[in-house]
Structure 1
């Protein structure tokens, strides 16, 4: 857990249950709460002008959801939608800031988490500017795994379809399929029941 559940509860957090494919907040909403996942997975997505979905992040248990926007006066640039039934701790913005002011370790953990996210965003930008499909796909897969606490090889199921990987990397679906098969032969990833594990 990024912030311990007991500490969140002490400052007035409540736990909410969301069904599969339920929206937690929409693009354009004003951030009013700190959200932390206690079970399930949440995707941050955006739809382009043609209605195509772009998944920007997959967040697992223990991670916070768009906490960076609690420090600036901007609206959400993404939607937060559950992949599966999920439970989320919800703490009002004012109480969240008080928690950070009064708990230096929690504040340090949030700063470190924000720094890691920013680092991986730079990596994604660099990877997506590469000409090599291998580099683009590896960068995308590693970025998504970075949200998981488990770093062991083949421990993380990539929650993206080949079509979604293509959309994230600006590659054709056929190129993604060929590259993924080659990366499996090179033992970079595993495919189990059509799912990619890295």
Structure 2
């Protein structure tokens, strides 16, 4: 968990229980809250002018949602949509800043978390520039696994569909399916009951 739940509540956070496929915020809105996922999954996406969805990220329990935008004067460049029933902690921006100003250790943790996320995003962008679909998929799997405490082989269950993997990497679904099978044969991933483990 990025910030202790009780600490957030003591600064005025409330828990929102949100159904699946519910919009938390939309592209173009002004960030007004710090959000932290207590339980569930949230996707960050952008829909282009042709109606094609580009998934930027899938966030899970313990992660925060677009917190970096609280520190700059910009609108959300993405939509945040729940992928399952989700419990979210929501705290107003002003209370969030009071919390981090009064708790310097939390501020350092947030800086470290943002730096790690930025580093992984750079690596992911480099991998997505590759023409090799295996490099793209391995890059995205490494990115999502980087948030897991257990880094041992095949310990991370990929909670993304093949379609979502295609959307994140810019590959066709057929290419993702074929490449995942190839990666399984190379012992890079394991597949159990259609679930991918990395």
Q: Structure 2 length normalisation: TM-score?
A: 0.94
CA contact 1:58–1:147 (8 Å) conserved in 2: no
Q: Which residue of 2 aligns with 1:25?
A: 25
User: Alpha-carbon deviation of 1:13?
Assistant: 0.7
Determine if the alignment matches structure 1 residue 179 to structure 2 residue 179. yes
**Root-mean-square deviation (CA), in Å?**
1.4
Q: Structure 1 length normalisation: TM-score?
A: 0.94
Determine if the alignment matches structure 1 residue 4 to structure 2 residue 4. yes
How far apart in 1 are the matches of 2:173 and 2:7? 45
Q: Which residue of 2 aligns with 1:66?
A: 66
How far apart in 2 are the matches of 1:83 and 1:74? 25
Q: Which residue of 1 aligns with 2:89?
A: 89
| Structure 1 gap segments, 5+ residues each | none
Q: Which residue of 1 aligns with 2:152?
A: 152
Distance 1:82 1:150, change over 3 A: farther
How far apart in 2 are the matches of 1:50 and 1:191? 33
Distance 1:150 1:37, change over 3 A: farther
CA contact 2:57–2:168 (8 Å) conserved in 1: no
User: Alpha-carbon deviation of 1:160?
Assistant: 2.3
Please give the secondary structure, in 2, of the residue aligned with 1:70: helix
| Structure 2 gap segments, 5+ residues each | none
